[in-house]
C-alpha cells in the first residue's frame, strides 16, 4: 500500500534537479499536485515526463503575488494541499558568489531573497490552503554545516532554514503541521554543473566522489526518497528537525 496515495503536493522548483526527483518519488507513491519553476516551457516538459496528475505553474518564488497564485490555483484544481516542498533556490543568476571584497548589496540580497526570504513567505502564502496535519519540507543544504570558498552567503541562508523549520514547527503546532529541513549534500543536478567551468565539471564531480564516504555523488532520487518519508505518517514524530542526505560527507573533518 502506497504511503502517500491521494495526497496533493506543491513542489517549488519541481521542474529540475532535486525538485523533479522529489516529484518523481512522490508520483510513485500516488501523489499528484503542482510543480513550479519560472519557465512555462521547461515546466510543460517536466509535467509531460511525470505523466498525468501533475500540473506546472510558472512562478517566481521571490514574488508574493506569484506565490499566492500557486497555492490558490492548486487548491482550486485539487481541493486540498497535504504536502509542501520548499525547494526552489540555489545560485543566483547562474553564477557562484564572489569573494567578500567583491560582493555587492544586490548580490547579497539576491541570495537571501531566493534562499531564505522566499522560503518563509512560501510557507506563509501556503498556510490558508494547507490541510491541518500537513507536512512541510524545507530543502536546506549540507553547506550550512561545512564552510566552502565562495559559499558564505548561500550557506548562511541555508543555515537559517534549519532555524526556520524549528520556529515554524512551534508556530504551527496547533494545526499539527510539521515542518522539517531536508538537507542534501552534493547532488548531481544542473545547478551543480553551473558552479564550475564546463570543461572542469567531470573532474570536479570525480573529486567530490572521492571525498564522499559512500564514494558517489547523490542523485535527486536520494532526496526524493527522504522526502517521501518526511511527507508520510512514518515520520509523524519528527518535528522541526533536520535530516541530512549527504553520503556521510558532513561527518568527516
By the criterion CB under 6 A, which residues form the site for ligand NDP? 13, 15-19, 37-39, 42, 60-62, 87-90, 114, 139, 141, 184, 186-187, 189-192
Q: Show the cell assigned to 226.
A: 527522504
Q: Whose grid coordinates read 524549528?
A: 166
Which positions are annotated as active-site residues?
154
- Min dist CB 138 to ligand NDP, Å, is 9
Query: Measured from the CB atom, is 140 or 240 closer to ligand NDP?
Result: 140
Q: Show the cell assigned to 237.
A: 514524530
Strands 8-11, 81-86: pairing is parallel
The answer to whether 156 and 147 have CB atoms below 8 angstroms apart is no
- Min dist CB 113 to ligand NDP, Å, is 8
The answer to whether 47 and 23 have CB atoms below 8 angstroms apart is no
Query: Measured from the CB atom, is 61 or 212 closer to ligand NDP?
Result: 61
Pick from 217, 33, 67: which is nearest to 135 by CA? 33
- Min dist CB 253 to ligand NDP, Å, is 20
Q: Please, which residues bridge with residue 244 across strands?
A: 183
Q: Calculate helix-pair angle for 17-28, 220-231, nearest 10 degrees.
A: 50
- Min dist CB 5 to ligand NDP, Å, is 26
Query: Measured from the CB atom, is 109 or 131 closer to ligand NDP?
Result: 109
- Min dist CB 175 to ligand NDP, Å, is 25
> Where do the DSSP E strands lie in the chain?
8-11, 32-37, 54-58, 81-86, 130-139, 178-184, 242-245
Helix (H) or strand (E) segment spanning residue 24 = helix 17-28
Pick from 179, 73, 82, 170: which is nearest to 132 by CA? 82
The residue of the chain with the least Cβ separation from ligand NDP equals 17
3-state SS of 115-151 is HHHHHHHHHHHHHHHEEEEEEEEEECCHHHCCCCCCC
Query: Measured from the CB atom, is 151 or 172 closer to ligand NDP?
Result: 151
Query: Measured from the CB atom, is 131 or 150 closer to ligand NDP?
Result: 150
Give phi and psi for 129, each to the nearest 5. Answer: -110, -10
Amino acid at each position: 500500500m502506497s504511503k502517500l496515495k491521494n495526497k496533493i503536493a506543491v513542489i517549488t522548483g519541481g521542474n529540475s534537479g532535486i525538485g523533479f526527483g522529489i516529484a518523481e518519488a512522490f508520483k510513485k507513491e500516488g501523489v499528484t499536485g503542482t510543480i513550479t519553476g519560472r519557465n512555462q516551457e521547461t515546466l510543460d516538459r517536466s509535467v509531460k515526463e511525470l505523466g498525468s496528475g501533475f500540473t506546472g505553474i510558472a512562478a517566481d518564488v521571490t514574488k508574493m503575488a506569484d506565490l499566492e497564485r500557486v497555492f490558490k490555483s492548486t487548491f482550486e484544481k485539487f481541493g486540498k494541499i497535504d504536502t509542501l516542498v520548499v525547494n526552489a533556490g540555489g545560485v543566483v543568476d547562474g553564477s557562484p558568489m564572489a569573494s567578500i571584497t567583491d560582493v555587492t548589496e544586490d548580490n547579497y540580497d539576491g541570495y537571501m531573497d531566493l534562499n531564505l526570504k522566499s522560503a518563509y513567505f512560501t510557507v506563509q502564502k501556503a498556510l490558508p490552503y494547507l490541510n491541518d496535519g500537513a507536512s512541510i519540507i524545507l530543502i536546506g543544504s549540507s553547506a550550512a554545516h561545512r564552510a566552502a570558498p565562495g559559499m558564505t552567503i548561500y550557506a548562511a541562508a541555508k543555515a537559517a532554514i534549519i532555524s526556520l523549520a524549528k520556529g515554524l514547527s512551534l508556530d504551527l503546532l496547533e494545526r499539527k503541521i510539521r515542518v522539517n529541513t531536508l538537507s542534501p549534500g552534493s547532488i548531481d543536478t544542473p545547478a551543480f554543473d553551473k558552479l564550475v567551468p564546463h570543461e572542469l565539471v567531470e573532474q570536479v564531480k570525480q573529486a567530490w566522489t572521492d571525498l564522499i564516504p559512500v564514494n558517489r555523488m547523490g542523485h535527486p532520487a536520494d532526496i526524493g526518497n527522504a522526502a517521501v518519508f518526511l511527507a508520510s505518517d512514518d515520520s509523524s514524530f519528527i518535528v522541526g528537525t533536520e535530516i541530512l542526505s549527504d553520503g556521510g560527507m558532513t561527518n568527516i573533518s
